[in-house]
Amino acid sequence: MMQHYFETARTADGARSAFTVRPIESRLAERIRATLRDDFGNVLNPITTAAPRSNPCRHCLRLTDPGERLILFAYRPFETSGPYAEVGPIFIHAEACDPYSEASGIPLDFRERPLTLRAYDARGNIHCAEVAGAGAAEEVLERFFADPAVAFVHARNPAWGCFDFRLDRASAHDSDDSHDSSTIREWVGGRGDATPV
């Protein structure tokens, strides 16, 4: 199992990645498509999108183009309850699609856009947050996951606020000796007064 994590926590160019990307669960996507109801009482109607390179499917993590059929539903991307466990709208393809399963790295369609990255602790309380410019998310995530208080990170659309995908630390036992831990602690302290927005 450790070997599996080690091998999958590498980017396409072979560099070690600090995180893995997790789309919504396939069983949820399948249930939404089958019932056309979400967990918050909404009756859902599939739509045909007219917007190019927009409305990402949170299951395959691809942007969609005009003519693709989508379902919009309310989703709470947390495994814990509490004040931070907010609910919001997300799209999935109306027909079956393959879950995002690349080894690691930011999904290709999201590398061209800025991302809001919110880091949470194991209880689901927000720990720090930052807007990463296009192409800068991986550097921010390396810093976030160097902090042991960070349990997981959500990527969101900066303007619209919608949840895009979750990121988890590649492996709890996969420490990287190249980091200067004192520098990391100093940085984390500097972000400790960050307030959620």
Retrieve residue 119's tokens.
Answer: 């880091």
**93 touches Zn ion by CB under 5 A:** yes
Pairing of strands 115-120, 152-156: antiparallel
CA 26 to chain centre: 15
Give CA–CA dist 187/185, Å, rounded.
5
Binding-site size for Zn ion (CB under 5 A) equals 5
**129 touches Zn ion by CB under 5 A:** no
**57 touches Zn ion by CB under 5 A:** yes
Report helix, strand or coil for 189. Answer: helix
Q: Are 116 and 156 in contact, with CB atoms under 8 Å apart?
A: yes
- The torsion angles phi and psi of 185, rounded to 5 degrees, stand at -65, -40
**60 touches Zn ion by CB under 5 A:** yes
Q: How far is the CB of 178 from Zn ion (least distance, A)?
A: 36
**143 touches Zn ion by CB under 5 A:** no
Retrieve residue 85's tokens.
Answer: 């466990």
Query: For residues 97 and 117, which CB has a smaller minimum distance to Zn ion in the complex?
Result: 97
Q: Are 116 and 127 in contact, with CB atoms under 8 Å apart?
A: no
The stretch among 2-10, 49-57, 156-164, 168-176 that binds Zn ion (CB under 5 A) is 49-57
Give CA–CA dist 152/77, Å, rounded.
11
Q: How far is the CB of 99 from Zn ion (least distance, A)?
A: 8
The one among 24, 72, 94, 97 contacting Zn ion by CB under 5 A: 97
**72 touches Zn ion by CB under 5 A:** no
Query: For residues 93 and 154, which CB has a smaller minimum distance to Zn ion in the complex?
Result: 93
- The torsion angles phi and psi of 41, rounded to 5 degrees, stand at 85, 5
The stretch among 19-27, 50-58, 76-84, 142-150 that binds Zn ion (CB under 5 A) is 50-58
Q: How far is the CB of 166 from Zn ion (least distance, A)?
A: 16
Name the residues that contact Zn ion, by CB under 5 A: 57, 59-60, 93, 97
